[in-house]
Structure 1
Amino acid sequence: MHIHRVKSKRGDKVYTQILLRESYRERGEHGSKVKKRTLLNLTKYPESVISAIELALKHKDNLPELEHLLGSSVKHTQGRSVGALWVLLHVCRDLGLDKIIGSSRHGLLCLWMIMARLIEQGSRLSAVRLADEHAVCELLGVEPFTEDDLYRALDWLCEQQDSIEQKLFKKTYGEKAPNLFLYDVTSSYLEGEQNELGDWGYNRDKKRGKKQIVIGLLCSDDGTPVSVRVFKGNTNDLKTFGAQIEKTAEEFGCRQVTMVGDRGMIKSAQVEELKEAGFHYITAITKPQIRAMLSNGVLQLGLFDSDLCEVEHEGIRYILRRNPIRAAELAGSRDQRIKVLQAYAEQKNRYLAEHPRADFYKATQKVWEKESKLQVSDFVTTTCKDRIIRVEIDGAYLAEVEELDGCYALKTDLAAEYAPMEIVHDRYKDLTQVEQAFRTCKTGHLEVRPLYVRKESRTRGHVFVVMLAYLIRRKLADAWRDLDVTVEEGLKKLSTLCAMEHEINGNQTGGMLSVPQPRPSLARLFSALTITPPSALPRRTGHVDSRRKLPSRRKSK
């Protein structure tokens, strides 16, 4: 960081601009380049202030020497946190998010909400409180704001979502757009009743009595999210698929595309939609469909025992495999559940024998409830005769079920010369990356719920904020993979790096804040991202406060 004087001549007059600048390294396709950026225009500052800043920068690594030169009592006070926000801002610049979202007030507030999601999850109100602990005004250059400003920024983000996704897609892939996309759907339950998109539907979170929203996430072949959509809580998974086909074809301009979805996502209607768009698909078929094909002679059970096997039927390719580890897990789980049910029935039999007046029907009913809860009703029958409860196993049906343990069949219309069966198999397994994104966004680090919003636009904006935060998190996770630190731990450590405010004889030292040299553990986090930690920051006045605190602040003035 240094002071740069720029002279320019207009006619007979010579003008001088005094700028506080810093050097940074920008990585690109052809290596890295050293560039410079302006942090603050000091032209209108008094010369004494500029000289003080120059002196401070010269001795920034040796504050005792600076105190000796000043010959005055110097007071150092810890300022706002800098480290985490500095890193997140540079990662946003690497991804191009800062330019894509823009530097309008709404854009800067959205950028802060994305960063706040990574630092400390919560509501818009908590993001306002968090901004008072981090150097948001100094680094982002945003004017003071309240939670109402953040809600309005979510409305704006919802309106701009399509445009931002298109620009981000173009920035990430350029002319080399991916030809394979992964798509999956999840739901997120709501705590309140007033959300405009909330409705009753199939709840994957197993939360009874809770309304929900449905979220569809579209990722590229490497698991990078490219689009997210929020649907009403009663939307069927299949109905969300058409919107993503349309988006991929029209907004992203992709033509040769293969969509990968699980067995519940791509069915006959969706296959027709893909054909109309000129797209291909990779999906799986259900166990009943496998049994039907076995009974029709299209498939043979022995084919599943190969490492990978391919069968073509009516122009459709089926890739077959049995996972022995999964087969053992299923068999063990089933056997354990049957034993638990039998033990429970024996317990009830002992109780009935010891209590002759006990109601045997109620005891049997409890065993039925246990049977349903353990999900063994298909191959187990529970009866009661002469006050003895019997659990009978349907051996023939159980053997039929065991035959398909660990078996799965993938289905695709891709030609073998373009996608061998190994490629089809590997691409379907890539769906785990979408599931990982959902786990991180729903219940992991980013915690999409609770939503703390009611309006449709703000719900969509909130989920989009989480998706953009996940993009940043992926980059941090890749960079810190070898440092034995999680992203959450890394950001928590970086938040301990704070700016320093200085006073000389009770007076603040101009328009700058100094930043101490980070300790080795923090330096490694910066180094892994090839980011240079700041040594000084421009001081900006203004407080970020919640709406409730503003009236009391005004009265105190």
Structure 2
Amino acid sequence: MAWIRRVRTASGATAVQIAESVGGRRRIVAHVGSARTEAELGLLMVRARELIADPGQGELELGIDAVAPKAALVGPAGDAALFDVEGSRERSPLVAAPRVVATASRVLYEVLVSVFTSLGFDAVGDRVFRDLVIARIVEPTSIRDTGRVLIDLGRKPASEKTMRRSLARAHEGAYRDQVARLCFAHATGSGDVSLCLYDVTTLYFEADKEDDLRKVGYSKERRVDPQIVVGLLVDRHGFPLEIGCFEGNKAETLTLLPVIRQFQARHQITGMVIVADAGMLSATNLRELDDAGLGFIVGSRTTKAPIDLESHYRWHGDYFTNGQTIDTITPRTGVNRDNDPALKTEPVWNPQTHTSAWRAVWAYSTARAVRDNKTLNAQEAKTRAVIAGDKTTRNPRFVTTNGDARTLDEASLTRARKLVGLKGYVTNIPHTVMSPSDVISNYHDLWHIEQSFRMSKTDLAARPMFHHTRAAIEAHLTIVFTALAVTREAQTRTGLAIRNVLRQLRPLCSATLTINGAIQTFPPEINPEQQAILDALTQANLRH
């Protein structure tokens, strides 16, 4: 005869064993394990019954029917229950098999909350807002569906109405102001904001009609839907500092100064350098940035090269060497004679003497020249095909139309080929402060803000937008802005893209089971690679 017995061990745990009686003597056949909780005991009892019932699961070949009573932790050694025999259905009720009540990615939720908290965002004092930010990072979706995401993360969600009230509070309670100040404190605490990057993007709406904010304008995605223009200012590493929302038909150049002024007013900043691409290159922007005591590095348009490099072309022709840089000047507006082509030496920009010009740095790259020539060759081939009637399309580049006749604009094509491989940069920073290589290097940091915009559009699904009122749109941008800060910080700490972090941590599900009348939650098994990510995210909190 075989049975299951429970024994109190010296450590205070309850050992579950399988015993049998042979010739009137009791002996231990197998030690199943030791339990310290009712739930653990229930699991061990189930395992013991499986071993008795199915010889294929272990070394036992007992061939007896198992009865499954509700187990209880045994008392102290010497207690009568030490050898509690499970042999009578009349004496003990049957116990149901263990069941999974729920699973949740609690580990992911908790580690993202820890990053949120380490950035100081708990100062907002709105847990619903925090949950909306975390849900936006994990699985961007509608407000109505956000509850499902939070349940998957082991978080009891607020009602949809409560979430919408949180959005209203985010706008009315100036949450963005608080978050922006905390982002600034984090950026200055871990580095500096002496150089900031600025760019704009467009976010479209699934809507048919325009209003005062949502308007049809130039779309980077070539869409014709109503949209808004969003300006974003980040530090040199891509960590967000300021965000601005503008009408969908507003020109990009008109968004720069409002965002910069808002940032300056909020933090009382005077000396800093703004880096932006050629889309921000306007005489007004550069003049007002300079008047405000701010430095700038802005991409120049290639079409300005013949003016800026007139001396070089006269004395050296169109020959450049790979990696060559030319430090010269460029007219602030139109054309002037500050750069005299009669002089072989390029002028050194001086803000006191060159009051009608800015400093210009031009660089030549052989690799860029190869790419530019490839593009021009494709454009020329397309142009010739259109002229020959082999293609029917609107006039491409380098086509000259005279009545019904189309001809190749040889002069324009020749001018374009003279400019291949060149990239220009306009700045008001003297060469004594920043070398040409540093100007170029700082400009190339713009990829960080481009990455932040890609994260906002893809990982955080900032578009399309379904809100209708300006307040709701601004609140949505506040959620995205905060989520972007958390994801950038997570990426900085782990060295991994946020998608990789989510892919590795979301499957770590804790399981809540009901066993032997008790309910208990068991943590997931974590492999070394996952643990390294968790350590990187949480140990950084200790340093902050």
| TM-score normalised to structure 2 length | 0.71
Opposite residue 523 of structure 2, the aligned amino acid is V
Q: Distance in 2 between matches of 1:284 and 1:304?
A: 20
Query: Pick from 207, 213, 220: which aligns with 2:223?
Result: 207
Opposite residue 307 of structure 1, the aligned amino acid is Q
Q: Indicate the SS of the match to 1:454.
A: coil
Cα distance per residue 1:246-288 (max 9 Å; x no partner): 1232212222111111222142211232233221111132233
Q: Distance in 2 between matches of 1:174 and 1:299?
A: 50
Query: Pick from 316, 325, 331: which aligns with 1:308?
Result: 325
Q: Is 1:101 aligned to residue 124 of structure 2?
A: yes
Partner of 2:484: 470
Q: Is 1:80 aligned to residue 104 of structure 2?
A: yes
Partner of 1:136: 155
- Larger RCO, structure (CA 8 Å, separation 6 or more): 1
Q: Is 1:331 aligned to residue 354 of structure 2?
A: no
CA drift of 1:456 comes to 0.8
Q: Indicate the SS of the match to 2:279.
A: coil
Contact 2:114 2:538 in 1 (8 A): no
Q: Check 1:319–1:261 CA distance in 2 against 1; reply closer, same or farther (3 A cut).
A: same
Opposite residue 336 of structure 1, the aligned amino acid is A
Cα distance per residue 1:318-358 (max 9 Å; x no partner): 1111222222112112212332454566675xxxxxxxxxx
Q: Is 1:198 aligned to residue 222 of structure 2?
A: no
Q: Check 1:69–1:223 CA distance in 2 against 1; reply closer, same or farther (3 A cut).
A: same
Partner of 1:526: 534
Kindly, what percent of the aligned residue pairs are identical? Answer: 22
Contact 2:384 2:408 in 1 (8 A): no
Query: Pick from 122, 134, 140: which aligns with 1:115?
Result: 134
Q: Distance in 2 between matches of 1:318 and 1:493?
A: 47
Opposite residue 529 of structure 1, the aligned amino acid is L
Contact 2:300 2:423 in 1 (8 A): yes
Query: Pick from 152, 155, 162: which aligns with 2:165?
Result: 152
Q: Indicate the SS of the match to 2:459.
A: coil
Partner of 1:412: 427
Q: Check 1:255–1:90 CA distance in 2 against 1; reply closer, same or farther (3 A cut).
A: same
Contact 2:137 2:483 in 1 (8 A): yes
Q: Indicate the SS of the match to 1:500.
A: strand
User: Which one has the largest radius of gyration?
Assistant: 2
Q: Indicate the SS of the match to 2:278.
A: coil
Q: Distance in 1 between matches of 2:161 and 2:145?
A: 12
Opposite residue 483 of structure 2, the aligned amino acid is A
Matches within 5 A, 1:83-482: 83-97=107-121, 99-102=122-125, 107-137=126-156, 144-158=157-171, 159-174=174-189, 177-193=192-208, 197-208=213-224, 210-294=225-309, 305=321, 307-311=324-328, 312-313=348-349, 314=354, 316-343=358-385, 348=390, 367=392, 369-370=393-394, 372=395, 375-376=396-397, 378-379=398-399, 392-442=407-457, 444-481=458-495
Opposite residue 324 of structure 2, the aligned amino acid is D
Contact 2:42 2:516 in 1 (8 A): no
Partner of 1:4: none
Q: Check 1:340–1:236 CA distance in 2 against 1; reply closer, same or farther (3 A cut).
A: closer
Gaps of 5+ in 2: 1-34, 48-70, 75-94, 329-347
Q: Is 1:496 aligned to residue 507 of structure 2?
A: yes
Opposite residue 330 of structure 1, the aligned amino acid is D
Q: Distance in 2 between matches of 1:76 and 1:494?
A: 24
Please, which moves more after superposition, 286-295 or 183-192? 286-295
Q: Distance in 1 between matches of 2:313 and 2:263?
A: 34
Gaps of 5+ in 1: 1-53, 138-143, 349-365, 386-390, 533-557
Q: Indicate the SS of the match to 2:471.
A: helix
Contact 1:182 1:434 in 2 (8 A): yes
Contact 1:497 1:518 in 2 (8 A): yes
Q: Indicate the SS of the match to 2:447.
A: helix
Q: Distance in 2 between matches of 1:128 and 1:260?
A: 40
How many pairs are equivalent?
Answer: 432
Q: Check 1:502–1:203 CA distance in 2 against 1; reply closer, same or farther (3 A cut).
A: closer
Superposition CA RMSD, Å: 3.4
Q: Check 1:531–1:170 CA distance in 2 against 1; reply closer, same or farther (3 A cut).
A: closer
Q: Distance in 2 between matches of 1:60 and 1:75?
A: 11
Q: Check 1:264–1:341 CA distance in 2 against 1; reply closer, same or farther (3 A cut).
A: closer
Contact 1:304 1:407 in 2 (8 A): no
Contact 1:83 1:498 in 2 (8 A): yes
CA drift of 1:233 comes to 0.8
Opposite residue 415 of structure 1, the aligned amino acid is P
Opposite residue 75 of structure 1, the aligned amino acid is P
Q: Distance in 2 between matches of 1:516 and 1:215?
A: 41
Q: Distance in 2 between matches of 1:478 and 1:176?
A: 13
Q: Distance in 1 between matches of 2:250 and 2:312?
A: 37
Opposite residue 283 of structure 2, the aligned amino acid is S
Contact 1:189 1:205 in 2 (8 A): no
Q: Distance in 2 between matches of 1:344 and 1:397?
A: 17
Opposite residue 371 of structure 2, the aligned amino acid is E
Q: Distance in 1 between matches of 2:168 and 2:439?
A: 40
CA drift of 1:73 comes to 6.1
Q: Check 1:462–1:304 CA distance in 2 against 1; reply closer, same or farther (3 A cut).
A: farther
Q: Check 1:295–1:87 CA distance in 2 against 1; reply closer, same or farther (3 A cut).
A: same
Contact 2:46 2:97 in 1 (8 A): no
